[in-house]
Structure 1
Amino acid sequence: MELDRDKKTFAYFWLFGLINNILYVVILSAASDIIGPSLPKSIVLLFDIMPSFLIKLSAPFFVHSIHYDKRIPILILLSMLGIILVSTRSLWLCLPGIVLASLSSGFGEITFLQLTHFFGSKSLTGWSSGTGGAGIVGSFSYLLLTTVFRLNIQLSLLLYAALPLIFLLYYKINDSIVSSQVYQSLDMPIDSSDGPIELLKSNGWVDIVKRLSKLVIPYMIPLSTVYLFEYLINQGVAPTLLFPIDTTPFVKYRDIYVTYGTLYQLGVFISRTWGHKLPVKNLYLFSVLQLINLLITLSQSYYYWTDSISWIMVLIFYEGLIGGSSYVNCFMNILKDVDPNEREFVLGSVSISDSLGTLIAAFLGIILEPSLCKHQIGTGRPWCRME
């Protein structure tokens, strides 16, 4: 019975992770199609991450007042409306659509990470694997629809609008997988005098800031720097990691960019699914390894020291492995090391870190990609301006 419940817990949270992150991934995969080759892809990243970061940053001060049951319809509405606007391919409608989808993704990550406090390690491994699965399913399905099947880009994006309805499975949790003890925890009134929710309400903003400050060195800095380095690669450098199209297996240069995204997400999926089997206590190891990857890709973009796309594809895949491992180990360490009375708060709060690193990368990438592209054009490599 316990084993069966564990399997269902994993399955439900895998789906929640998949759906929560898939639109974020699809939007990044479609960056070159949304804004074209002449603008930095980091503009899309900026709009895809800024709202998510802001809601995560402010959530510790208000999220306790919204019951989990009420959060799900909000996530569904924001996601569906967001991707519908993005599918119009009109830049001035796409950007607000990206903002709505980003709000849903950030609020969803807080919600489901906090729920893992009640459901334990199986829910966290399911969520982590599902978010990794969102990467590979989102990027590969978009690659398949637009590059292999050559489906209309507007229709391809619109097909994703129905996926957020899968969040409705949340309402089956109590009937399917929750023991009576967890059931009581989830269904208690939001203003109950028990548990971490009331502790949060009774503390002032100063106390909340103090609690957040304790998370900076062990969890937030290593996670945010890993995301900073990998998204600088993905959005600032990868669009310039190009080769003569006749030396590659691709038809268009935008196909190279989409393929890089798919390889990265494959690495993320593998490490988020199985990374917990190789536990790492010192999270700064991942920061160092990802910095090395950034330096290697920067040198390739600037100096063009190899004319083999295969080596770069392997490196992008490895970059994804590092990023996914950092994420799953960070939250696994929290489940193991943090006091249960603080765990729900910590799980929701540390998710600020990945968005912060990605947000900084978006700002830097807006400068970095055009600079690298300008240098390449000046040295006889004009591919970054070609479709």
Structure 2
Amino acid sequence: MLIIALTPAHTDGGSISTKLAGVILASLSSGAGELSFLGLTHFYGRFSLASWSSGTGAAGLVGAGAYAVATTSLGLSVKFTLLASACLPAIMLVSFFVILPLGALRVATRKAAQYRSIDNSHDDEEVEARHTERDDETSEEDGLLGPAGDGTRFVKASERGKVSQAWASFQENLNRSKGLFFPFMLPLLLVYVAEYTINQGVTPTLLFPLKETPFEQYRAFYPAYNAIYQAGVFISRSSSPFFRIHHLYFPSFLQIANLAILTLHALFNFIPNVYLIFLIIFWEGLLGGLVYVNTFAEIADRVPAADREFSLAATTVSDSGGICIAGFLGMAFEVWLCRWQVSQGRKYCTMS
């Protein structure tokens, strides 16, 4: 955030590359944080997952809403708004190391260390046994090599054992991921591809004459759409203690329908006013949040406790992958839709 805020506003190659580096760092931290913290909710009981989902929804709502209010209503610069927000990640450090009870994590860490110790001892015994067998079979060669050769062969055998163990662990995790793909990962992937293609590729072209809207500038449309979308996400991500869905594909297909409707409107301009667009964007946020929170709630219900932490963390690949795919689709969508609108005499997407 600091990198983006402190680079110049002009768009020469150096400035753009620096800002992109800031975006990449933000994405890396966001993805790593989600993968880690979502998996850790397994150790804090069922309500922790609902709290996590609600918190992520609130973060999007507060972030998008604060940016829209600061830059549109208060007239503050983008640079000042980003600098004022740069201190917020420090709250996460305080929350984790000061507020969050760490006893459950310490117990889990000790148990995992014990399991690793037992496994490693067993592996070392196997390696030593194989080494002893080879010694018996090749005693004449060992006499020529001496003690140094014995130590070298033992280290190499131990290293091969660790590599084999790591490869076996990777294969096991891959097999576990295959079992998660169709019931959990695919519907989450679909909903994220659809909603982020809408957000990044379609909504920048959902523009109306300013006199028919509550806005004074065309650049105000996108932050408003984003804030409305995040409001829907927050509500639905906070709903799991009160409302659950078990058929995850149904809202995913509804989200794809949203993408089709808004794309057709961007092409043919049949929705009469911006307020109906607001309603569809809010509905989009509701659907996205519902699939997110209910996917992980279903994992918590249906996956055995021994596999639950891994399953929660592994499934986050779907939303990250969906956002990545949608990013590439969105670049093509926005350029295509804007060119189409300009060819039809609607040049709003080229205005600010």
TM-score, length basis structure 2:
0.81
CA pair 86-190 structure 1, distance change in 2 beyond 3 A: farther
Match of 2:54 among 126, 129, 133: 129
1:161 matches 2:86: yes
Match of 2:214 among 229, 243, 249: 249
Tell me the equivalent position of 2:4: 86
Q: Is the 8 A contact 1:276 1:329 kept in 2?
A: no
Distance 1:137 1:237 in 2: 23
User: Map of 1:111-130 to 2, 5 A cutoff?
Assistant: 111-130=36-55
Q: Is the 8 A contact 2:210 2:216 kept in 1?
A: yes
Secondary structure (helix, strand or coil) at the match of 1:204 reads helix
Aligned length: 299
1:185 matches 2:87: no
> 1:152 is matched by which residue type in structure 2?
S
Tell me the equivalent position of 2:31: 106
Match of 2:242 among 273, 277, 298: 277
Match of 1:293 among 216, 234, 258: 258
Distance 1:246 1:192 in 2: 68
Pairwise CA distance, 1:203: 3.9
Which string of whole-angstrom CA distances, capped at 9 and with x for unpartnered residues, describes residues 126-166 of structure 1?
11001000111000000011111111111111111111111
1:240 matches 2:205: yes
Distance 2:181 2:109 in 1: 31
CA pair 215-228 structure 1, distance change in 2 beyond 3 A: same
Secondary structure (helix, strand or coil) at the match of 1:238 reads helix
Distance 1:186 1:106 in 2: 23
Q: Is the 8 A contact 2:43 2:105 kept in 1?
A: no
Which string of whole-angstrom CA distances, capped at 9 and with x for unpartnered residues, describes residues 329-361 of structure 1?
000001111000000100100000011111111
Tell me the equivalent position of 2:151: none
Tell me the equivalent position of 2:158: none
User: Map of 1:40-79 to 2, 5 A cutoff?
Assistant: none
Q: Is the 8 A contact 2:50 2:240 kept in 1?
A: no
Distance 2:48 2:116 in 1: 23
TM-score, length basis structure 1:
0.74
Distance 1:324 1:275 in 2: 10
Segments of 5+ residues of structure 2 without an aligned counterpart are 10-14, 121-164
1:207 matches 2:167: no
Identity %: 41
Pairwise CA distance, 1:247: 1.1
Q: Is the 8 A contact 1:240 1:372 kept in 2?
A: yes
> 2:39 is matched by which residue type in structure 1?
Q
> 2:261 is matched by which residue type in structure 1?
I
Distance 2:54 2:226 in 1: 17
Distance 1:350 1:119 in 2: 19
Tell me the equivalent position of 2:287: 322
Higher mean alpha-carbon deviation, 203-212 vs 125-134, is at 203-212
User: Map of 1:18-37 to 2, 5 A cutoff?
Assistant: none
- RMSD, aligned α-carbons: 2.0
Which string of whole-angstrom CA distances, capped at 9 and with x for unpartnered residues, describes residues 175-227 of structure 1?
x646x6x25424427643179x99x9684322221111111100010000000
> 1:383 is matched by which residue type in structure 2?
Y
CA pair 186-150 structure 1, distance change in 2 beyond 3 A: farther
Distance 1:95 1:177 in 2: 37
CA pair 187-210 structure 1, distance change in 2 beyond 3 A: closer
Tell me the equivalent position of 2:297: 332
